[in-house]
Amino acid sequence: QRLILVMNDITTLKQLERMRKEFVANVSHELKTPITSIKGFVETLLDGAIDDRENAFRFLTIVQNQTTRLGNIIDDLLTLSRLEQNDEESGISMEKIPLCHPVNEAISICQGRADEKSIDIHVECDRELEILGNGHLIEQAVVNLVDNAVKYCPEGSVVLVRCEREEDRRILLVVQDNGPGIPEADQERIFERFYRVEKARSRDMGGTGLGLAIVKHIMLLHGGTVALESSRGEGASFLLRFPALPS
């Protein structure tokens, strides 16, 4: 029996090692892509393109966008590593807060991007719904979900953010959109770091591929869960569930 236990430990260690290697390979690739692009455009500029004002402007705009992309990836990686540290080291504090506070903050952060696509964000969140949580982190989770909804939905859509108390007293927060949805085959992997349904499309839209992994970690830290209900072409609903406050 002890031998079986040791074998199980070795299998787990091997799996962890494989995941670590995969992650390092992914990070390197994700960082290398914008760096290669920046290097190429800077070289073209130095080779003479800088004399043509119109082209120079176009190339420098690409360099600027790729630099922003690099910054976003690094910010998201730092957030993830902070979330993975244990409570004392990370300095993340939890308090009793009305869920509507971080929700409303998040909506106001996303409003500008929604307006650009004439997307209407509809919010239903009662003040009396309270959770034990970290306002900044909940705000970030909601920003990530609403930002995705806005990014992947067509112009003129409606994004619904709804909060309610469930029968078992857990608090449910739903971010629902009527966009392209997520095919069933991808749903299990969607919360993994750097996993995207369409890599090129996500990159073009400025995505880092880390947004949902961050949401999942934030919910773990709150003793809650995240679930997805979606089918291709019929929109997506992300469901965050927070534990009930002790009465």
Query: Which spans of this chain sit near ligand ADP (rule: CB under 6 A)?
Result: 144, 148-149, 152, 177, 179-180, 182, 190, 196-198, 202, 207-213, 236
Q: Work out the number of other CB atoms within 10 angstroms of the CB of residue 43.
A: 10
Considering the complex, what minimum distance in angstroms separates the CB of residue 73 from ligand ADP?
10
Least Å distance between CB 184 and ligand ADP? 13
Q: How many CB atoms lie within 10 A of CB 240?
A: 25
Nearer to ligand ADP among residue 66 and residue 144 (C-beta): 144
Task: Note whether 185 and 154 are within 8 A (CB).
Answer: no
- Between CA 20 and CA 193 the distance in angstroms is 12
Q: Is 205 helix (H, G, I), strand (E, B) or coil?
A: coil
Residue with tokens 């079986």: 4
Looking at the Cβ atoms of 138 and 212, the one nearer to ligand ADP is 212
Q: How far is the CB of 43 from ligand ADP (least distance, A)?
A: 28
Which among 195, 192, 162 is positioned nearest to 177, based on CA atoms? 162
Q: How far is the CB of 85 from ligand ADP (least distance, A)?
A: 21
Instruction: Kindly tell me which of 150 and 171 has the beta carbon lying closer to ligand ADP.
Output: 150
Nearer to ligand ADP, 110 or 190 (CB): 190
Given the complex with ligand ADP, which of 30 and 41 has the nearer CB atom?
30
| Nearer Cβ to ligand ADP (152/242) | 152
Vertex 107, ends 101 and 112: CA angle to 5°? 145
Q: Angle at which helices 135-152 and 100-116 pack, to 10 degrees?
A: 30
CA atoms of 123 and 77, how far apart (whole Å) = 30
Q: State the minimum distance, in angstroms, from the CB of residue 48 to ligand ADP.
A: 36
Q: Is 193 left (phi over 0), alpha (psi -120 to 50) or beta?
A: beta
CB of 21 to ligand ADP, least distance (A): 21
CA gap 247, 239 in Å, rounded: 24
In total, the chain counts a number of residues equal to 247
